[in-house]
Amino acid sequence: MVSSTAIIYPGVELSEGCIIEDYVIIGAYPAGFEGKDLKTFIGKNAIIRSHTVIYAGNNIGNNFQTGNKANIREFNTIGNNVSIGTLSVIEHHVNIGNNVRIHTQTFIPEYTNIENNVWIGPNVVLTNSKYPNSINAKKNLSGCLLKDSSIIGANSTILPGTKIGKNSLVGAGAVVTKDVLSDTVVAGNPAKFIKHIDNNLYRNLLQG
């Protein structure tokens, strides 16, 4: 079902079962690519909520959902069962795995890599520029890497090039300035090691 107020550009392929709500825009050309043959693919059973904008060149898997007014830039790869919350921004050339939950008002900059089963709380900010607005800033961007099953608490900030290890937990409000080891909890500003995670307990919590 596609709302009559939605704008779907040429080159967009919507799979079966998609729901496209009012005033959604899909396949908008990024600057410098106007009129070029850019393909945009969205898998089965997507729910794209009102006023979301998805630029051209995205490849998105099945069961994708957005909140209202999400903004997804061009040339991203997004897996199955991914949810992107209201007012969140995904910049270009981002890779997102399967079963990822990105909550409201999160910022994901270009060249970020997010693996499978990652959970990102509201108002989280990932960064990619160590020296913003410097002469060569755009040439030296370094995206974050969030490994499988990592959890990023609300209002956290992750600095450029940082790796968040597998099964790790970043506490709410943390400022992460260096890599986080797998199976650990960090918190604070700057974020510091708190404890190791009991993997059996962690898995039980994730499974509810």
Q: What is the pTM of this model?
A: 0.92
CA distance 20 to 32: 27
CATH topology of domain 117-208: UDP N-Acetylglucosamine Acyltransferase; domain 1 (2.160.10)
CA distance 169 to 205: 13
CATH topology of domain 1-99: UDP N-Acetylglucosamine Acyltransferase; domain 1 (2.160.10)
* pLDDT tens digit sequence for 86-132: 999 999 999 999 999 999 999 999 999 999 999 999 999 999 998 88
Residues with Cβ < 8 Å from 34, sequence gap 6 or more? none
Q: Are the folds of 1-99 and 117-208 the same?
A: yes
Phi, psi of 141 (to 5 degrees): -70, 145
The pLDDT of residue 92 is 95
Domain ranges of the chain: 1-99, 117-208
| CB neighbourhood size of 196 (10 A) | 12
CA distance 112 to 90: 9
The pLDDT of residue 201 is 56
Please report, rounded to a whole number, the percentage of residues in the chain having pLDDT higher than 70.
95
* pLDDT tens digit sequence for 19-71: 999 999 999 999 888 777 899 999 999 999 999 999 999 999 999 999 999 99
What is the band of 200 on the pLDDT scale with cuts at 50, 70, 90? low
The pair of three-digit structure tokens given for residue 88, joined into one six-digit string: 């969140």
